[in-house]
Amino acid sequence: MKFVDEVVITAKAGGGGNGCVSFRREKYIEYGGPDGGDGGDGGSVFLQANKGLNTLADFRHVRFYEAGRGANGFSRNMTGAKGEDRIIQVPIGTMVYVEETDEFIGDLTEDGQIIKVVQGGYHGLGNLRYKSSVNRAPRQSKPGSEGETRVLRLEMKVLADVGLLGLPNAGKSTLISAVSSATPKVANYPFTTLYPNLGVVKVDMSKSFVIADIPGIIEGAAEGAGLGIQFLKHLSRTSLLLHMVDIAPMNEEDDPVDSVRVIEKELKKYGDELDQRERWLVLNKLDLLLPDEQIERCDDIVKRLNWKGKVFKISAATKLNTKELTYEIMKYMDEQVYLNEQAEFVKE
């Protein structure tokens, strides 16, 4: 299935039913009064998060969604039926905006969460509503109001705790397959990953985190080059970035340090404070170097980068040190949960 993370749709709520003008006509009742009932309310349109979906691809074919109209009122003070609501299923992580004004409506981050995007029209009033001491036989009624119509922009952002950064062929897909049950496509050519892959990493029976393999970013991604610009936004929800580096590139003229600088430059250009996010350096493909070369190459990269954060040396292909990496990530996640709980406690 083609990955689609942004679509524009039109949602139209149902109009309210009209009120009824009617008078009682019953045997043995000499003077029948008004008995026109109200119309029914129009149906509204809702969006609901569904964990079974992972793309907005279905919206490529259907772009217009309409709720049911309320039924008109009836005689004998019978109210018209309410219009049927329309509930549209979307992936978890979908953000909703009004296309014309860019107004933010809501963010669906939990399975089953539901938000109303357009309000159904209100019911019209029957002539019974207008009866008074001076108007015993009103012939007026009120029509139902029209339902709202909105053009909406749906943006899906992957919900993950950890995001993998790196140029194409840095080994991101290999790592996610090594530490989780995800099975992304792996090959030795650029842009093997065409859309984000999510993997659940279980550290023990009760602890786990979600890791996202983001398609490779190249120089110029923030301006739209390659695939990066389409997916940089998916990093905005992550609390930790793993910056993966190929320390043994096939082309010996490729400098791993330059590859790190390229990514850093694109993160800063993109904005959203991605360049300020907690980021760990993961030096990958140790298995392609001799033991002495591993130490020398890694130390050289760290020194020239003047890297002050955490550094991990792994081989995703052979799973060397990958378990230790996942334990450190879980420890970091637990610390973040504790800090957030403390911050909430101070607010209260």
Residues 253 and 274 in one domain: yes
- Among the candidates 140, 156, 172, a domain finishes at 156
User: How many CB atoms are located within 10 Å of the residue 53 CB?
Assistant: 16
Residues 233 and 142 in one domain: no
What pLDDT score does 227 carry? 46
Q: Does the pLDDT value for residue 219 go beyond 60?
A: no
Give the Cα separation of 178 and 142 in Å (integer).
66
Range of the domain at 263: 162-347
Sign of the C-alpha dihedral computed for residues 218, 223, 226 and 227 taken in this order: positive
Whose CA is closest to 64, among 82, 43, 86? 86
- Band the pLDDT of 223: cuts 50, 70, 90: very low
Q: Does the pLDDT value for residue 218 go beyond 60?
A: no
Establish if 1 belongs to a structural domain.
no
Residue 324 has φ and ψ, to the nearest 5°, of -60, -40
Residues 146 and 166 in one domain: no
Residues 57 and 132 in one domain: yes
Please tell me the total count of domains within the chain: 2
Q: Does the pLDDT value for residue 276 go beyond 90?
A: no
Residues 322 and 174 in one domain: yes
Q: At what angle do helices 256-270 and 291-305 cross, to 10 degrees?
A: 40
pLDDT per position as a tens digit, 312-342: 999 999 999 999 999 999 999 999 888 887 7
Return the residue matching tokens 């140790």.
Answer: 286
Question: 216 near 232, Cβ under 8 Å?
Answer: no
Q: Which is it for strands 197-202 and 64-66: parallel, antiparallel or unpaired?
A: unpaired
Residues 172 and 146 in one domain: no
pLDDT per position as a tens digit, 63-109: 999 999 999 999 999 999 999 999 999 989 899 999 999 999 999 99
Residues 242 and 115 in one domain: no
What pLDDT score does 1 carry? 40
Question: 98 near 152, Cβ under 8 Å?
Answer: yes
- Among the candidates 156, 181, 200, a domain finishes at 156
Whose CA is closest to 165, among 211, 217, 224, 222? 217
What length is written for the chain?
A: 348
Kindly tell me the burial class for residue 25, based on how many C-beta atoms sit within 10 Å of its own C-beta (0-12, 13-18, 19 or more): exposed
- Return the CATH number at 281: 3.40.50.300
Give the Cα separation of 244 and 185 in Å (integer).
17
Question: 220 near 226, Cβ under 8 Å?
Answer: yes
Return the residue matching tokens 């080059």.
Answer: 225
pLDDT per position as a tens digit, 227-268: 445 567 777 788 899 999 999 998 888 899 998 998 888 888
Predicted TM-score (pTM) above 0.95? no
- Among the candidates 137, 156, 175, a domain finishes at 156
Establish if 286 belongs to a structural domain.
yes
Q: What is the token pair recorded at 144?
A: 């139902």
Helix (H) or strand (E) holding 170: none
Whose CA is closest to 12, among 119, 154, 88? 119
